[in-house]
Amino acid sequence: MSDILLVGVNSRYSHTSLGLRYLKANLEELKDKSQILEFSINENEDSIVENILLKNPKIVGIGVYIWNAMQVKKIVDILKVVTPDIKIVLGGPEVSHLPLRVDFENADFIIQGEGEVSFYHLCKSLLSGKEVTQRVIRAIMPDTKKIKLPYGEYTSHDIEHRLIYVEASRGCPFECEFCLSAIDERVRYFGLDEVLSEFEKLWDRGVRGFKFIDRTFNLNIAYANKIMDFFLSKDEPYSLHFEVVPDNFPSRLKEKLKLFPPHSLQLEIGIQSLNEEILANINRQMNIQKARENIAFLEKETNAHLHVDLIIGLPGESIESFAKNLNLLKEITNSEIQLGVLKKLSGTTISRWDKKYNMIYSKTPPYEILQNDFINYLELQKLKRFARFWDLVYNSGNFHKTKDFIWQDSTVYDGFYHFSEWIYSQTLSTWQISLMRLSELLFNYLTNEKGFDKTLVADTIVEDIIKVEGRKVPGFLREFATHIPNLKNLYLDKARKRQVLRDV
């Protein structure tokens, strides 16, 4: 049993809540009276409440995010009905900015902002019996050089089975109107020596995957270089994930990035748009030419895996402009291109375009745009399906060579748009499409609709599929493919080659 229960409802089981671990680490003398309990959004609300109540807490703190807001509301409502004496404290991005678009009327307290200091003081008051009359508390901004770091709160189970999130800084220097990070007045850094000392402890405990949540890892090049030096000194394989801005890669950073071995580095690059007028609309500062050059460098001269973002529905951007963005980005890079849909988050300034462009958004999470003057509702629905099928076919990596047939003799956007429309006409769904089913749909489209040779397409799909060990070749391809390898022998040969390399 714990007096203070810190509850996370994560989007996936593999995810962990860094925020809850910060809260626990900074509870001072109350730390031993606290416990972290994490769930996923796939779990039933009644089951979550049952597990909370089994801990018999006096205070329940829950992190609220765009992906769990509606579920957290149900959890809070149930908790307050069955155990009205429990004090419920909410925090996180979804309750930190007005307007609150999900009604958490049954929550006792809401902490807005970074809660490490304020949550401790609130818990101390509540457990000592003091009356707290202020329901909505604007958090005291913590000093990143003084707060206790959370990495000791990761359990052995977390390290073995889940993602480990870390950070070296908070805030973002840019003012993109759709992003909550733009609200921060400045970037604040943690003490680098202390951060690296904690990373060393995580490394000694077996952590080999570090996912940095810093909004702009390559803003402070000196900081970035020292962190990269830390990992480059390690011999064992590891994986790092950084969010970077695309137009700030000075030569010393480029030289450092070249040193990372294959499969060790993933860079998430926020492009959002390649239309200068649209970037100006959203206060996105970016040198497009520099960004193009840097992405080309990263693709050709480093082993980094790139994840590049474009957003659908930005104020003033038409379908034609978005299509041009995608075509141009595909010319620049063969890496993963994530297509997101604009969201209207409380606290951001994107609403200033609502009247000018008739921007209409969903009133429920995740608050995605429904239509505007340039893209009507029906067109936007098609673009959302486009983005989903793009993920399944292009970003998945399952059809590395086959996908190129889709836009032969057309632009990338036009070719994939027609494919997206066709596949939806066959499935009437964008979900629960297995790899085998998708392979068959792709084969049928390319041969029956596009007129490609069946043997050529079958051989290409087979080649793509068998790159992943353990996969079966779809039965329908055996009639057309010229060569179906003995997968058991193929994988044995690969295993022998790996063993030879290890022995050498």
Residue 502 confidence (pLDDT) above 50: no
Q: Which of 109, 118, 112, 170 is nearest to 140 (CA)?
A: 118
Residue 483 confidence (pLDDT) above 90: no
Task: Please give the pLDDT value at position 472.
Answer: 85
Q: What is the CA radius of gyration of the chain?
A: 25
Mean pLDDT of the chain: 93
Tokens at residue 483, please? 């060569």
Query: Mind listing the pLDDT tens digit for each residue in 218-258?
Result: 989 999 999 999 999 999 999 999 999 899 999 999 999 99
3-state SS of 286-336 is CCHHHHHHHHHHHHHHCCCEEEEEEEECCCCCCHHHHHHHHHHHHHHCCCE
Task: Please give the pLDDT value at position 499.
Answer: 45
Query: Mind listing the pLDDT tens digit for each residue in 121-140?
Result: 999 999 999 999 999 999 99
- What is the DSSP annotation of 221-272? HHHHHHHHHHHHT--S--EEEEEE-TT---HHHHHHHTTSPTTSEEEEEEEE
Query: Cα–Cα distance between 371 and 319 in angstroms, integer?
Result: 12
Across 31-35, 419-423, 435-439, 466-470, least confident range: 466-470
Q: Contact, 113 vs 141, CB < 8 A?
A: yes
Non-local CB neighbours of 273 within 8 Å, separated by 6+ positions = 279, 282, 284, 310, 311, 314, 317, 321, 322, 325
Query: Mind listing the pLDDT tens digit for each residue in 139-178?
Result: 999 999 999 999 999 999 999 999 999 999 998 877 787 7
Across 301-310, 468-477, 488-497, least confident range: 488-497
Query: Mind listing the pLDDT tens digit for each residue in 317-341?
Result: 999 999 999 999 999 999 999 999 9
The structural domains of the chain, ordered by start, are 4-138 (3.40.50.280), 164-375 (3.80.30.20), 390-504 (no CATH)
Bridge partners of residue 6, in order along the sequence? 36, 61
Q: By percentage, how much of the chain surpasses pLDDT 90?
A: 86
Task: Please give the pLDDT value at position 175.
Answer: 72
Task: Please give the pLDDT value at position 182.
Answer: 58
Query: Mind listing the pLDDT tens digit for each residue in 404-427?
Result: 999 999 999 999 999 999 999 999
Query: Cα–Cα distance between 350 and 158 in angstroms, integer?
Result: 37
Residue 438 confidence (pLDDT) above 80: yes
Task: Tabulate helix, strand, coil % of the chain (nearest 5).
Answer: 45, 15, 40
**27 or 492: which carries more pLDDT confidence?**
27
SS3 134: coil
Half-sphere exposure at residue 173, Cβ-oriented, CA atoms within 13 angstroms: 12
- What is the DSSP annotation of 176-228? -TT-GGGGSSS-EE--HHHHHHHHHHHHHTT--EEEE--S-TTSSHHHHHHHH
Q: What are phi and psi of 311, to 5 degrees?
A: -115, 135
- Our measurement of the distance from residue 91's CA atom to the centroid of its chain's CA atoms, rounded to an integer in Å, reads 20
pLDDT band (50, 70, 90) for residue 183: low
Task: Please give the pLDDT value at position 497.
Answer: 47
pLDDT band (50, 70, 90) for residue 486: low
Peptide bond just before 99 cis, omega within 30 deg? yes
**485 or 103: which carries more pLDDT confidence?**
103
